[in-house]
Structure 1
Amino acid sequence: MQLLTLLTPLLLLILPASAQFQFFEQMFNGQQGGQQQPQNMGSDSAWYQQQYENAHCDKYLCPHTLSCVHFAHHCPCAFPAVEDKVEFGDGSMACVSKGGWAEGEASRKIELARKGLL
């Protein structure tokens, strides 16, 4: 009984300290183990070239999205939320940043530039 009386205060000091250290260990070390930190992509084009070479397409492979379409002007824009697709009469297309407040303003400016008016 006397041993239990001596150990009780000691346990009351050790258990909270142990729990506190576990909390800090999880807070600082647990983030590294549980979540992968994103890594920067390389500055060369090797990754993209590998993806391009491994893409299978029996029609036209869009170079900027790696989509397989029938014709080059059918390629989608990579970021349609912020890009407008402009198709040219020669069967080509371009994706340009959306401009201004009006729908299709980027396309209108490109057409004006093609006519020499801008």
Structure 2
Amino acid sequence: MKRITGTHWAKYPTAGEIMGMPGDRSPMRDAIATLASQKVIVLACANSIRASGGRFLPPDQRADRDRVTSFGEEVRANLLPGVEVVPAMIVSLQQARERACRYIYAGG
């Protein structure tokens, strides 16, 4: 899938509205870059990405399984640099806690 830059965030205004951050680019871009430069590991859950269309697509598109699937693929292809996808966050969280790492939830 081709990586989309610039106004990609504005392509899905519902995502910005739901997260309280409308605009034409991800409001987390600078924060993620800063954290990555400080060796902070930022993870994204593949299960959540896969289901994200059901939350962020316009309501009339949420029942279309192909559209939800392609939305998740597009999200994954356009994650900010420094974000790593893990298969299931709950498993990764448990593994991190076993290694004395901390978890901070920054979702909506």
TM band (smaller chain): under 0.3
TM-score by length of 2: 0.24
Higher strand share: 1
Higher helix share: 2
Larger-gyration structure (1/2): 1
